[in-house]
Amino acid sequence: MIAQTLQHFTTTDGVKLSYWIQGKGRPLVLLHGWSGSHKSFIKNLPVLAQQFQVIAPDFRGHGASDKPKQGFHVARLAADLNELLDHLSVDKDGAKSGLVVVGCSLGAAVIWSFVELFGCKRLGAAIFVDQSPLQLQSSDGSWKLGSKTLSDYASLVHLETLLRIQPEAVYQQNVHDCLFREPSKKEIDYFVSLSKEADAEFLAKLIKDHAMADWRPTLPHLQCPCLVIYGEQSKIFPEDAALYLADKLPRKMIQPFKFAGHWPYYEMPERFNDVIQDFIRNRMQQL
């Protein structure tokens, strides 16, 4: 279990955000996915906090953070991240602070937006977990590496509608889609409970912003060491999306998880934790 050591700060637009923080040493930020929270990392936080100062925020509209009527954009989440780092006095030079940011799904897009808005200097390294740089497939067939479950604008509109009338059904399906194996009832109940802590209307607006953003032009600007992690059994993104991402990043390594889906940090936590620690301790300096 994750010890409840949540702290809070208020953003420049008056939103109170919650974050989990524990451990000492190099700062390691874990950014959860859409409809999740810091509790998504139940199998990772206590372990990684033995090696690093782990910081796991709840995005606005999610978890224990405020549920505002504004800010349902990836760019605002990136600005929130920057303000959190300022609040925690993390040095703006990543080479000095050693800051490593892990973005899972939506969290990866938050990092790309962060780089677009604030540059890459603050990042000592970045880790991206199972996220395509463009979620929707293109209508002309020129981009086929988007989401398998949210492939076009029609499916996006359908998801937005369901979130407003049957949100729990969306949350349940999301658990099935994000895990490679069949989830247990306990797992479904757990992850649905995390999604129900979020605001469904906020999620509907955020997923539209997230799905339509194209981060491909941003990738060459990530000059820090990067690690791309993906689940070979992902029901959300094709393997080629991870390969494309790794190809476009200037300084990178890629690490597939053979027996995991969209949430390798949950399905293969021991290996995930080991890979993160090994990359930070031994690999990133080689890039």
- In this predicted structure, the answer to whether residue 47 has a pLDDT above a threshold of 90 is yes
Percentage helix, strand, coil for the chain under 3-state DSSP, each rounded to 5: 45, 15, 40
User: CA torsion sign, 141 to 144 to 146 to 152?
Assistant: positive
C-alpha atoms less than 13 angstroms from C-alpha of 213 in its C-beta half-sphere: 22
Q: What is the CA angle 261-265-268, rounded to 5? A: 70
CB 116 within 8 A of CB 138: no
Q: Which residues of 184-223 are buried (b: 16+ CB within 10 A; e: fewer)?
A: eeeebebbbebbebbbbbbbbbbbbebbebebeebbeebe
What is the tens place of the pLDDT at every residue in 179-232?
A: 999 999 999 999 999 999 999 999 999 999 999 999 999 999 999 999 999 999
Q: How confident is the model over 30-49, as a mean pLDDT?
A: 98
Q: pTM of the entire structure?
A: 0.97
Q: Which domains does the chain have, with CATH numbers?
A: 6-286 (3.40.50.1820)
Q: What is the mean pLDDT of the chain?
A: 96
Q: What is the pLDDT of residue 287?
A: 85
What is the tens place of the pLDDT at every residue in 242-264?
A: 999 999 999 999 999 999 999 99
Does residue 215 sit in helix, strand or coil? Answer: coil
DSSP per-residue letters across 133-193: SB-SPPTTSS---S-SSS-SHHHHHHHHHHHHH-HHHHHHHHHHHH-SSPPPHHHHHHHHH
User: Which H helix or E strand runs over 201?
Assistant: helix 200-212
CB 37 within 8 A of CB 11: no
Q: What is the pLDDT of residue 138?
A: 86
From the list 130, 72, 135, the residue with the least C-alpha distance to 103 is 130
Q: Name the pLDDT band for 140 (thresholds 50, 70, 90).
A: confident
Phi, psi (rounded to 5 degrees) for 226: -130, 150
What is the tens place of the pLDDT at every residue in 2-24?
A: 666 799 999 999 999 999 999 99
Q: How many residues does the chain have?
A: 287
